[in-house]
Amino acid sequence: MASMSSHIAWSHFFPLVLGAATPLLHAQTPTTPLPDIVVQSGRLVQQQFDTPGSVYAIDADTLRSSGPQVNMSDVLNRVPGVVALNRNNYAQDVQISIRGFGSRAAFGLRGIRLITDGIPASMPDGQGQASTVSMTSTDRVEVLTGPLAQLYGNASGGVIQTFTREAGDKPEAQVQMYAGAFGMTRTDWQISQRTGQVGLIADYSTFATEGYRANSDARRQQLNSVITVDVQPDTRFKFIINVFDMPYAKDALGLTASQLATNPTQAGTGAIDARTRKAVKQEQTGLVMEHAVNRDLKFQTRVYGGNRTNLQYQAATATNPTGAWTGLTRQFEGMGLQVNGKAHVFDGQRMNWVVGTDIDHAQEQRQAGNAAVGEKTDTTRNELNEASNRDFYAQANWSLGERYTLTTGARQSHVTLKSRDDVPISGTHPDNGSGSVNYTATSPVLGLTWHAQDNLNIYINQGKGFETPTMSEAAYTLLTPSTIKGQFNPNLLASRSKHLELGTKWRPSSNTRVDAAWFQIKTDDEIVTVRSSGGKTAYANASQTSRDGFELALRHQYDSHWRGHVSATFMNATYAQGFSNFVNGTTNNVSAGNSLPAIPKRQLLTSLQWSEKGFSTAGQKPSLGLEASLELISRSSMWANDTNSTTANDYALAPGYAQLNTRVRQRYQVGPARVEVSVGVDNLTNKEAISSVIVNQSSKQYFEPGLPRAWIVGVQSQIPL
């Protein structure tokens, strides 16, 4: 492993980037211009080209062509500034970070906000699960990075929003079936129907895999349904029902460097004996109402609620020699109100504005204990954790003449974390696990856009953000340098960040678009691992960090048959201040200048697509005939721990790699039905790679191997009803 270096992977970059970009210098007359896209710019809706920040949209065709639509990482790697790592471990979800925020997450999402159909999928403390998004019925994904994301409150280092497709004018059924390497199967059934003013999308999907590694098979199923009711031309109700059921996902755990070199298909130490696995079930409902008072004033309200159960069995440790278990039962609910308006100020200059409030609450019963051979033997922990927020926000875009737009905004946030110890008080267990802590922050944003030309915008903006610890991060307290106790830690501070972004958006022609941004982020009181031992991790505020980088997105429609895409990120994320942590009794010094783990310094995705009959315009069904694509994904090396160690017994550097993926699709018209047959191969050249890392893993089992060459075939059919 140590002989693999990041520059090897990057030697593949430049020929392919040059090949994709060369047509820009010799552009043909466009036959299919790139569409204008409307996105969420902070809390305001506007054309993507005019947004004073980095916003990227992924359309339905890109989602469908990515494959079986199981993991968000399959499409999020197209977005500059986003690191989306597929663990190939469905017990821990994909690992997603945006400009470095969220990279420390051992499971699920941290530090970024996830919103589905206007309903938060992240809890008030910043925890979220990407797996609950129904990718098969998603019509669009938007990713907001930079200072504007701070208008979404706590832990909004970036914002990912997904939108379910709406019912068409004609009733239709859709069926998808996929099969792939390592026992992967995927099915999906959808119905789309509109009756009068009522539209229905109902989507049921299943997924199963035997897994590439030992102890890595998983099963899950999901229902996503959206009903829209246009009771009046100016009033719409949207009802959302989402059910996610994963009866089991076995956890292969990570591998040490030596285990990885010996056999990447093996499970981590103790996984099979302890039958490590996770079971999850979540049910959520929501209602969004939109009402237009007139063309210049609109209201939106939302209410939602749901429950989630999570049961996880962990491997044996020194403190739990036969294994352990953790169970969470969560109830969550919330509501919000938002008012959008337009006005004329400053002698008739235009202003778009929004004000709103969010109130969210989640509580979960956290239980834990010892296990033997993957079954509970006792209960040693029982407590009620709560997280809530009450936020107010406002944003305004002010037109200053024809060439300038001023963006202002702020969010006032109040977040509360509570814990109540429900284990009976005794001599061996005093009531010392209860407590609460409040966090208050104001997150201002200020930006200016110069509309230099009709096809060129240059913007600068800055803002402040904050991130509280999650309830999982506050679940353990470091009593002494050698002792971690499972009790609520109210002493963690929220980390505070300052964001600066300078960017440009350029359309040299109707079929070419270039977005570029430079950013700098300074964070105080970064939440870091202070001790990890026996499967327990305690956190502290121990450091300042610095993130700066450059992002580039280039899209070009060569002609109606060819198009290309390039997305590149160059980022340097380091600790600006040193600190010490403790791992299994050893004190480690983290030096200033060390790299933050799980963040590659360089990342690139470039793709080339061809369509026999020509690509359809936005909003239309894809053309019949043959389509093919070739995609290169490459990342430089990344660290798996804070100390950036490369010793023989603590090797924590995941080398860089480059991987080729290809897809071929053929669409037919068979009577009234449209049928699509697809074949894909990931990792075409069968390169060895580490797909993700487990940050600061106490047993040094940092590495989760990527898949070797893997095939997938699929059949989709759309049938009018």
pLDDT at 12: 44
- Mean pLDDT value across residues 555-568: 94
pLDDT at 97: 94
pLDDT at 19: 44
pLDDT at 26: 45
- Look up the domain containing 538 and give its range: 6-582+598-720
* pLDDT for residue 624 is more than 80: yes
Pick the more confident residue, 465 or 484.
465
Distance CA 342, CA 295 (A): 8
Report the predicted TM-score, pTM, of the whole model to 2 decimal places.
Answer: 0.93
- Mean pLDDT value across residues 117-132: 91
pLDDT at 715: 96
Is residue 467 in some structural domain?
yes
Listed range (171-175, 200-204, 357-361, 484-488) with the worst mean pLDDT = 484-488
Is residue 591 in some structural domain?
no
Helix/strand/coil for 222: strand
Pick the more confident residue, 313 or 345.
313
* Pair of tokens at residue 697: 């893993």
- Mean pLDDT value across residues 192-205: 95
The per-residue pLDDT for range 445-480, each reduced to its tens digit, is 999 999 999 999 999 999 999 999 999 899 888 877
pLDDT at 32: 62
Is residue 587 in some structural domain?
no
Is residue 381 in some structural domain?
yes
State the total domains in the chain: 1
Looking up residue 666, the CATH number of its domain turns out to be: 2.40.170.20
- What is the DSSP-derived secondary structure letter of residue 255? B
Distance of CA 422 to the CA centre of its chain: 34
The per-residue pLDDT for range 661-716, each reduced to its tens digit, is 999 999 999 999 999 999 999 999 999 999 999 998 888 999 999 999 999 999 99
In DSSP terms, 528 is beta-bridged to 540
Distance CA 518, CA 662 (A): 31
Q: Do 221 and 185 form a contact (C-beta atoms < 8 A)?
A: no
Banded model confidence at residue 583, pLDDT cuts 50, 70, 90:
low
* pLDDT for residue 25 is more than 70: no
Banded model confidence at residue 430, pLDDT cuts 50, 70, 90:
low
State the number of CA atoms in the 13 A half-sphere of 7 facing the CB: 1
In DSSP terms, 57 is beta-bridged to 142
Banded model confidence at residue 29, pLDDT cuts 50, 70, 90:
very low
Is residue 45 in some structural domain?
yes
Pick the more confident residue, 405 or 50.
405
Distance CA 558, CA 571 (A): 30
Q: Give φ, ψ of 663 to 5 degrees.
A: -135, 140
pLDDT at 685: 95
Distance CA 127, CA 105 (A): 9
Distance CA 516, CA 570 (A): 11
Strand duo 512-533 + 579-583: pairing: parallel
Which residue shows structure tokens 């009181």?
525
Contacts of 97 (CB under 8 A, 6+ apart): 82, 83, 103, 105, 111, 112, 157, 598, 599
* pLDDT for residue 14 is more than 70: no
* pLDDT for residue 319 is more than 80: no
Average pLDDT score over the chain? 90
* pLDDT for residue 404 is more than 80: yes
Is residue 188 in some structural domain?
yes
Q: Do 174 and 717 form a contact (C-beta atoms < 8 A)?
A: yes
pLDDT at 401: 86
- Mean pLDDT value across residues 15-39: 52
Instruction: Give the closest residue to 466 by CA, choosing from 155, 164, 195.
Output: 155
Pick the more confident residue, 36 or 163.
163
* pLDDT for residue 721 is more than 80: yes
pLDDT at 698: 83
Q: Do 105 and 78 form a contact (C-beta atoms < 8 A)?
A: no
Instruction: Give the closest residue to 566 by CA, choosing from 609, 598, 599.
Output: 609
Pick the more confident residue, 628 or 320.
628
Neighbours of 497 (CB within 10 A): 25
Distance CA 72, CA 158 (A): 15
Is residue 588 in some structural domain?
no
* Pair of tokens at residue 329: 């039962």
The per-residue pLDDT for range 237-280, each reduced to its tens digit, is 999 999 999 999 999 999 999 999 999 999 999 999 999 999 99
For the chain, report the end-to-end CA distance as a whole number of angstroms.
55
